[in-house]
Chain A
Amino acid sequence: MAEYHLKGPLTDEDVTKLKIGDTVYISGECFTCRSRLQKYIFDEKNVLPFGTKERNILIHNGPIVIKENGKWKLMSFMPTSSIRFEKWGAKSVDEWNLKMIVGKTTMGAETAKMMKEKKCVHVSPRSVSPNLWIDSIEVQDVYLYDELGRIEAAWFFKVNELGPFIVDIDCEGNNYFDRLDQDIADKKDEALKKLGIDENFEFTKLY
């Protein structure tokens, strides 16, 4: 498993070398997104009020940002579960030309397919450690604050060596968590056996 320190905007070359299980740290310009932004753009047919060519790293997150002495202050940050945004995942990768999605959990098959086609990766954290991250993040600006609210607005972050994140979907469509599933399923069968639960056990059907 290799470790990479990448600087945005990311290129195809930057991301195609990443394999599932690799560790990445990122620097450069990113924007935050939750479902309300994707719904606003893709379902309600509004135009994204900023370009993503120079800002092709999307972070699934609703940060806590407060205003202190007229300046934005980031109180807390933690990537949030990506899988619930699967409905708009492929569209986001395609239309916004994303090269990296920073989230938690992972994305589904449709997004992974588009990520393979457009060369994009998904990465996620291995800890819940906002305080080890917020010093690496500068809040630059915010878009759609009035329309979407403080949490679901698109925040512009400039990040410096933000990480570590694990690559869980690579540009070949491989998923790190799919590989773990079989191992966990095998261990689950052993654990059930140890508890005296037969492999042929079936619940009495009540409904």
Chain B
Amino acid sequence: MIKTEIYEQALFETIKRGATEISPDVKDAFMKAIEREANPDAKNGLEATLKSMEMSKVRENPLCVDTGWPIFYFKVGNQCELEGGFVELENAARRAVAKATELGYLRATMKHPLTGYDPGNNIGMNIPDFTYQFVDGDAIEMSYAAKGGGSECFGGTRHRIVAFADGIKGIEKFVIESFVASARAGAVCPPSVLGIGIGGTANVAANLAKEAACLRTVGSKHPDPMFAKIEEDLYEAINSLGIGILGAGGSTSVLAVNVEYAYTHIAGIACATSTNCMVARRASSRIDGNGTVTKMTSPNWFGDR
């Protein structure tokens, strides 16, 4: 049985790492973007952002002032036993978020949707958000994603039901037009990690898009060539638009395009987008059944991608 103090400490460390350390795959994507950037001002912007992100690790401060919606993903072994069970896991996650907020690793960003009341600790109705996936084994893997306000609020997350009559062309047109509108003047903090969900009900597509944006390793490809081609075509197409870092012009507008899919109804194809901002914050940890905690460099949410 995994002790409460072990998973609570792992949750806190994962939140802190997600808020303050750039993921290795995002760093690689930045370095490639800097290398190929043709616009000198955009190149300076990418370099300044990378430099600041590297300083955050040393200074132990947030990569960006907006530390986003606190979102947890748990990949749980079917034989995993937690002291206090899963109710206590969620309580521990709430305590860890409150502690990270008190120490300034997170900003107290979550507020009541109608009154504007700020609890000061990022804890409230249905927040943090929890998603589970079940697998074999006795381990638990946890990922913390901080979904920024800019990337979420300005049209980076949206959906459309595309008719089978319109197919891939309809999906690609919807994605490109949505992205151009949402990246105007840098609203969604491009270069983005653009997640796309295809199929399922509208909410399934939206969840897949969010997970594709927040949990896929940047630089990975979908194993099905049909979806890998959509990823590649849209990556090339969007990076040809000249939107650039914070929308002020440049040759890198997306760091990655990640597609995930579900089977859909004969009536239509739900299609959703979710942009993650350039800092693409997340961190993951694994706790084995014997209580050993390991830092993971990638969420492993979609297997090896």
Are A and B associated in one complex?
Answer: yes
Q: Which residues of A contact B (CB under 8 A)?
A: 36, 61-64, 66, 73, 75-78, 80-81, 83-84, 104-106, 124-132, 134, 149-152, 166, 168, 176-177, 180-181, 183-185, 187-188, 190-192, 194-197, 201, 203-204, 206-207
Contacts of A168 in B (CB 8 A): 185, 248
Interface contact A128-B189, CB-CB below 8 Å: yes
Interface contact A61-B246, CB-CB below 8 Å: no
Residue of B nearest to A149 (CB): B118
Least Cβ–Cβ distance between A51 and chain B, in angstroms: 26
Interface residues in B236-275 by Cβ distance below 8 A to A read 237-238, 240-243, 245-249, 268
Interface contact A149-B176, CB-CB below 8 Å: no
Complex Cα spacing A46 to B54, Å: 42
Contacts of A195 in B (CB 8 A): 169, 172, 233, 237
Interface residues in B5-59 by Cβ distance below 8 A to A read 41-42, 44-46, 48-49, 51-52, 55-56, 59
Name 20 interchain pairs, CB-CB below 8 A, sorted by A. A62-B65, A64-B104, A78-B64, A80-B66, A80-B150, A84-B153, A126-B248, A127-B46, A129-B48, A129-B52, A130-B52, A131-B51, A131-B52, A131-B55, A149-B120, A150-B118, A168-B185, A180-B248, A194-B237, A201-B173
Of the residues B65, B108, B170, B240, contact of A149 by C-beta under 8 Å:
B108
Contacts of A131 in B (CB 8 A): 51-52, 55-56, 59, 61
Interface contact B237-A191, CB-CB below 8 Å: yes
Contacts of A130 in B (CB 8 A): 52, 56, 61-65
Q: Which residues of B contact A (CB under 8 A)?
A: 41-42, 44-46, 48-49, 51-52, 55-56, 59, 61-67, 103-104, 107-109, 116, 118, 120, 149-150, 153-154, 160-163, 165-166, 169-170, 172-174, 176-177, 180, 184-187, 189, 233, 237-238, 240-243, 245-249, 268, 277-279
Specify which of B59, B238, B243, B246 lies most central, judged by the most chain A CB atoms within 10 Å of its CB: B246
Least Cβ–Cβ distance between A86 and chain B, in angstroms: 12
Least Cβ–Cβ distance between A52 and chain B, in angstroms: 23
Contacts of B49 in A (CB 8 A): 127-129
Contacts of B277 in A (CB 8 A): 128
Interface contact B62-A166, CB-CB below 8 Å: no
Least Cβ–Cβ distance between A172 and chain B, in angstroms: 18
Residue of A nearest to B189 (CB): A128
Can you add 15 more A-B contacts, CB < 8 Å, to A81-B150, A104-B187? Answer: A64-B65, A105-B185, A127-B245, A128-B279, A131-B55, A176-B248, A177-B185, A180-B249, A184-B242, A184-B243, A185-B180, A191-B176, A195-B233, A206-B163, A206-B268
Least Cβ–Cβ distance between A66 and chain B, in angstroms: 4
Complex Cα spacing A126 to B166, Å: 37
Least Cβ–Cβ distance between B33 and chain A, in angstroms: 12
Specify which of B185, B187, B279 lies most central, judged by the most chain A CB atoms within 10 Å of its CB: B185
Least Cβ–Cβ distance between A83 and chain B, in angstroms: 7
Complex Cα spacing A166 to B245, Å: 13
A126-B237 contact given A77-B65, A131-B56, CB 8 Å threshold: no
Interface contact A36-B52, CB-CB below 8 Å: no
